[in-house]
A = this chain, B = another copy of it.
């Protein structure tokens, strides 16, 4: 375990990033990361991949899909180590994303609060009746959630 070589094996990357090697291959298949190959077809990763992975995991924690992350990362150079400017650009983007999400949560929280007020017994004014805000596009599962429709609850 002396000096780090410039190119890491998949095992190295797994150990250092905490991402299972199976997931690393999966991410590669999905276009989130890349690796060179040795003559014997084994993967060799540049060290920059570790930062990429940290980013991917961080983004997942915020609830973004791998596809979203892939799209965002495609802005980063694949070959060279990203410059400060590259990362700054990305970070700015992410902050907007995060801000939007925080905002949406705040709004939902506000609705619940007003729901205590109405007791959810007077249907007319229940805030849950009009749930059309940002996160509605963001349902789990494969098929998109349809927004709640006409007529109220």
Contact = CB atoms under 8 A, between A and B. Distances in A.
Contact of A95 (B61, B113, B131): B113
Contacts of A58: 108, 111, 128, 131
Contacts of A138: 61, 63
A7 to B, nearest CB: 16
A87 B61 contact: no
Interface residues of A, number: 60
A131 B102 CA distance: 18
Contact of A62 (B57, B135, B147): B135
A137 to B, nearest CB: 9
Contacts of A99: 109
